[in-house]
Structures are given as C-alpha cells and as structure tokens.
C-alpha cells in the first residue's frame, strides 16, 4: 500500500507543479523580506528571476526590525509580503506568536525538496512544533573578532584568556540582550560546561562594552579603540577584512572550548494572507532545491542543511557531533531568559 501511495505521489507532483508555476507567472512577482547584504540579496534573487521570469521585490531588514514593521503594517490592514528569511529568534519572539506565518510543509512540492534523506539528520528541521519556520542551515559560528595588529594568530587559545588583565577595557560585544550574533555567542557561553554563568559574570568585571550596530562595533576594532569584539555579523566582518581593513576572525577550531551551532539568518517562513501565494510556493521550492541552497550557502557563508550542497566555501563551519545548538526552541525561550538574567546581574542591563 505504501508503495502504491508513493507511486501516486510521484505521478501527481508534475501536474501540481505546472499548475502552481502557471499561476505564479500570472501573479508576476514575489515580495520577500531577507537578510542585509548585497551578496545574499543577489544570491536569493537573481538566478530565481532569470529562471522563472518572476520579479522579486526584496526588502533587507535585520531581525529586530521585522516584527515591529509587520505589526504596524498588519495593524493598518496591509498584507504586503509573501516570504521571509530571518533568524530563528525573530520568528519565535515575534512572527510566530503574532500568528503571521502559515505552516510551510504544505508548500513543498518538488520531490527532491520533500525527500528527508537529502537533509542533515534525515529530516526537515523546523524551529517550532507548528512547522512554520524551516531551518535551512546548521553552521558552526565565529565568536571572536580581533585587531590583528594587536592580537596575533593563536594568541587567544581559550575564552578564559579574555579574563587576563591585559584585556580589561579592551573588549566590546554585540549587545546580547537582543536577537543577533551577540546573543548566540553568550548563549553558547552559558550552555558550555566549562564556561557557564560564572564566565559571563567574570566578563562583566573586564569592562566589556556593548554596542547595537555592526558598523560601529567593527569600526571600534578597526580604529583601535578596542582589541577584541565578541559576536558580530560574520559576512560583514569578512567583507571588511577582504577590503584590507584591520579586522580578523579568530578560527574557533583553535579555541579550547570551540564554538556553538547556529541557524543564523536561515529561517524560511511563508506569510499568511500572502499577496502572491503561488509565486511564494515556487520560490520556496527553488530556494530549498540544490541550486537555491548552493546559491544561498555560498553567498551567506553558511552550511546548508541539504547534504548534496557543497561545503568547501566554509568547511570549518560544517556541524560536528555534540556541538551545542544555540537556536533551539528551548535556547531561545527558557535558556534565553536565564542568559538575560545573568547579563543583567553582570552588566546591569
């Protein structure tokens, strides 16, 4: 019976796909919210537009700005967006509780997208029980960014080295009290058995400064105001380094405690009341295909959860057994509250 059902499914998907594709081309466009950065925007837009002839209206927005924007729009009766690609924290804290996303699974049509064997762990990963946010990437993430004129390669071998007197007043961090790389890094600190809450408290005694703007954070390193930056946008840091600016990413494989596993800005969601529902389905299936995931992974520097997508662009980020996940439902709810409590104790915020 199962074989018959599978055969039936294989037989009907082409008809369903052609019908959705025809309707999508009539709609003519897709409106999506995605991560900042021209490389990522181009990767998620250009090839799709060329392949299907559907125009993509792309609005780049950091996670903290998405919820308020959508709440204001929907409060005014405006339903302008079809698809979102963002971080898991943004989805769990604002989009899902506000009821803005539909279950994504019914939008999956292409067999190679639906086949769980093509995905890491042998299954599709969703961040929530309602299966409304698809996790496209699991990647080890960088945690420390330094001024290479001050911090030499291999000089920092453990996060505990940052507690040395020489680094007092020389540390800056992306504000971990909001969604972003700072929060992911401090969640990793909290969950690591050799670091934990006491390590965060110890950092509080080092005069650690918190900022809320990636450009200002990196600029403070480049201009020599601080020597070590904890948590920032990796693509932006890498871009600055490629331009020859004095900022370097510390290879987390050289740190005793390693690093955590992040979904970064790889959560894929389908808005309810989407103005272009068929274009949204076509886009979702393309983005989750090998072609779409390869474009996305290379541009973002992430490791796709699809097993047939190359990893040589960032091999060090490939997940390893036992890596601490900083993006799970528990980590972004219960654990987050505990992290924030320790941060308030250590930094007064």
Q: What is the pLDDT of residues 76-99, one digit of tens each?
A: 999 999 999 999 989 998 999 999
Question: Which CATH number applies to 2-139+263-317?
Answer: 3.40.190.10
**Residue percentage of the chain with pLDDT more than 70:** 97
Rg (CA), the chain: 21
pLDDT tens string 100-138: 999 999 999 999 999 999 999 999 999 999 999 999 999
pLDDT band at 10 (very low <50, low <70, confident <90, very high): low
Pairing of strands 139-140, 261-262: antiparallel
Chain segment 230-246, per-residue pLDDT in tens: 999 888 898 899 999 99
Instruction: Decide if pLDDT at 224 tops 60.
Output: yes
CA–CA distance from 39 to each of 219, 267, 327 (Å)?
21, 18, 24
Q: Does the pLDDT at position 63 exceed 50?
A: yes
Q: Identify the CATH assignment for 142-259+330-347 out of 2.40.70.10, 3.30.9.10, 3.30.365.10, 3.40.190.10.
A: 3.40.190.10
- Whether pTM exceeds 0.85: no
**pLDDT of 2 over the 50 cut:** no
Q: Where are the domains of the chain?
A: 2-139+263-317, 142-259+330-347
Rounded percentage of the chain residues whose pLDDT exceeds 90: 84
Picking from 181, 178, 177, 158, the residue whose alpha carbon sits closest to that of residue 262 is 181
Q: What per-residue string of b and e applies to 212-246 under the rule 16 or more CB within 10 Å gives b?
A: eebeebbebbbeeebbbbbbbbbbbbbbbbeeebe
Q: Quick one: tokens of 20?
A: 């959705």
Range list of β-strands (E), 167-236: 171-174, 209-211, 228-230
Residue 8 has pLDDT above 70, yes or no: no
195 pLDDT higher than 80: yes
pLDDT of residue 4: 46
Q: Do domains 2-139+263-317 and 142-259+330-347 have the same CATH topology?
A: yes
Average pLDDT of the chain is 94
């Amino acid at each position: 019976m199962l074989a018959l059902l599978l055969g039936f499914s294989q037989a009907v998907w082409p008809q369903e796909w052609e019908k959705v594709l025809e309707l999508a081309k009539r709609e003519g466009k897709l409106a999506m919210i995605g991560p900042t950065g021209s490389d990522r925007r181009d990767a998620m837009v250009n090839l799709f537009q060329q392949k299907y002839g559907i125009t993509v209206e792309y609005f780049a927005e950091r996670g903290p700005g998405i919820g308020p924007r959508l709440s204001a729009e929907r409060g005014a009766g405006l339903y302008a967006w079809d698809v979102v690609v963002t971080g898991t924290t943004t989805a769990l804290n604002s989009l899902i509780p506000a009821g803005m996303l539909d279950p994504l699974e019914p939008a999956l049509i292409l067999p190679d997208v639906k086949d769980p064997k093509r995905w890491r762990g042998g299954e599709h990963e969703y961040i929530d029980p309602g299966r409304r946010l698809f996790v496209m990437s699991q990647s080890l993430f960088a945690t420390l960014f330094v001024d290479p004129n001050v911090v030499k390669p291999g000089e920092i071998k453990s996060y505990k080295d940052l507690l040395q007197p020489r680094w007092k007043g020389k540390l800056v961090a992306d504000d971990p009290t909001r969604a972003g790389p700072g929060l992911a890094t401090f969640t990793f600190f909290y969950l690591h058995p050799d670091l934990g809450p006491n390590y965060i408290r110890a950092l509080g005694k080092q005069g650690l400064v918190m900022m809320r703007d990636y450009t200002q954070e990196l600029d403070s390193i480049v201009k020599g105001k601080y020597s070590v930056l904890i948590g920032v946008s990796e693509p932006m840091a890498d871009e600055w380094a490629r331009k020859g600016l004095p900022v370097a990413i510390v290879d987390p494989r050289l740190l005793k405690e390693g690093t955590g596993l992040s979904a970064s800005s790889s959560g894929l969601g389908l808005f309810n009341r989407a103005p272009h529902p068929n274009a949204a389905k076509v886009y979702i299936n393309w983005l989750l295909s090998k072609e779409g995931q390869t474009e996305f992974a290379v541009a973002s520097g992430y490791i796709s959860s699809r097993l047939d997508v190359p990893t040589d662009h960032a091999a060090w980020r490939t997940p390893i057994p036992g890596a601490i996940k900083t993006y799970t439902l528990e980590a972004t709810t219960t654990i987050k509250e505990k992290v924030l409590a320790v941060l308030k104790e250590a930094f007064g915020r």
